Amino acid sequence: MKKRYWRQWLIFLLTALVIFIFDFWIIFQPFKSGFNVLINPIKKFLYSGKNIDFEQFFLTAKLRSLKEENYYLKEEILKFKSNLISSQEYHDENIRLRQLLEVPLPQDLSFLPAQVITQEKKKLLVNQGSKEGVFNHQLVLTGNCLVGWIDEVFLHQSDVLRVGSTNFDVPVLIFSNHPKCLATPLFCLKGKGILRGYLIEGILQDEPVVEGDLVSFLNNSRGILLGEITEVSKSDDKIFQKAKIKSLTDSNRLTEVFLLKE
Amino acid sequence: MKINFNKLKIFLGKNSWGLVLIVSVLAGKVFGIPLALLILLGAALFWQEKIFPWAFGAGLFLDFFLNGHLGVWSLIFLLISLGIVLTKRLLLPASNRLDLSRTIKIDRI
């Protein structure tokens, strides 16, 4: 080490010693007070910094990043859900179009498509109303199966009375369940009756109605099916038979129906 | 203005270790560790004799800052820095010393 630095170090050491010794008196007190006045704001700032909970700070940062991640993941899930819904819609439409192509409905029939808004056991609410030309007792179909008819019309919505509800009262025709019979049910006629709810009444005893037969409108059936016979039983008066039917539509998964224009 | 700025720039460049030492006194208060002492060890190892004035100044500043007896930390810092400088000179051979206090002059070939 150069002498210059030795000398410098010794001078600093001696100065420090002198300060150390002189500080036993009050000679440096004014300097200390002045310095304290100057440094107090900084000290306050530093002490407030000392109170910072660094662990909490890093945890908050981590929490924030997790929240952001959650937000992006939720967004991704929503995207996937919307994709799923749209693909489900495509799937449903595909099935509907296939059914439309296959059903033996007359070519001259025209339809008004409608979305199902709400479903109840006896009623449906669809998104077409009087503005779109919907009228009372208009038939509502899915494929070639009857869902019900329009019961109440609003401006842009309508109530549909479903097949099977007690107010649904219509004369019906019962015919064999055979592909050829769908277009011309009168040639395969087995019986006639009146449908109330899910029960057909007034079928004559000698009419050979059996389980599995199909039910259509008595007048102008146009290939529209109301249901399928599930049970045949003797009536109490021994003159007529009665039969229970089931609807051919999947009533819980109705998303789109067709209103028959007449 | 520009001349003053350049002077300040040169001063900061030359005395960066010392300034770090002063700042470490304040930072040590926040983190609750003797940061100034640690910085002094590092600075004395690389900056060698040039650290003496800063050791004295930082010690005095720490004394003022802690509102303790003046000169105590100056003496401690000066002794520690001397100890490190001497240890380095005695134990390490000249070829192995990394000395940032001197500039190397390269002659043009």
Contact A126, A257 (CB under 8 A): yes
Residue B109 has what pLDDT? 46
Contact flag B29-A8 (C-beta cutoff 8 Å): no
**Where is pLDDT greater, at A98 or A10?**
A10
- The CA distance from A77 to B59, in Å, is 60
Q: Number of A:B CB contacts under 8 A? A: 70
A12/B56 Cβ within 8 A? yes
pLDDT at res. A70: 94
* Mean pLDDT, residues A188-216 taken together: 87
Distance CA A226, CA A214 (A): 8
Higher pLDDT, A128 or A183: A128
Residue of B nearest to A32 (CA): B64
Write out pLDDT tens, residues A31-47. 888 888 887 887 777 76
Q: How confident is the model at residue A251 (pLDDT cuts 50, 70, 90)?
A: low
Q: Is A3 on the interface with B (CB under 8 A)?
A: no
- Per-residue pLDDT of A184-195, as tens digits, reads 777 788 888 998
Q: Which phi and psi (to 5°) does residue A76 adopt?
A: -60, -45
Tokens of A156: 């842009």
Which among A132, A121, A120, A82 is positioned nearest to A258, based on CA atoms? A132
Contact A12 B78 (CB under 8 A): yes
Cβ contact, residue pair B70, A32, below 8 Å: yes
Asked whether residue B6 carries a pLDDT value surpassing 80, the answer given is no
Least confident of A26-30, A92-96, A106-110, A117-121: A106-110
A198-237: burial string, b at 16+ Cβ within 10 Å, e else? bbbebbeeebebeeebbbbbbeebbbbbbbbbeebeeeee
Compute the distance between CA of residue A207 and CA of residue A190 in angstroms, rounded to an integer: 6
For residues A199 and A232, is the Cβ–Cβ distance under 8 A?
A: no
A5-14, A128-137, A210-219, B38-47: segment of lowest average pLDDT: B38-47
Residues of A within 8 A of B89 (CB-CB) are 1
Which residue from A212, A219, A194 is spatially nearest to A204, judged by alpha carbons?
A: A194
Name the minimum distance, in Å, from the CA of A60 to any CA of chain B: 19
CB contact A59 to B (< 8 Å) = no
User: What pLDDT does B102 receive?
Assistant: 55
Q: Which residues of B touch A46 (CB under 8 A)?
A: 26, 29-30
Q: Are B71 and A16 inside 8 Å of each other by CB?
A: yes
Angle between helices A3-22 and B72-91 (to 10 degrees): 160
Phi-psi region of A201 (alpha: psi -120 to 50; beta: other; left: phi over 0): beta
For residue B50, give the chain A residue with the closest CA. A5
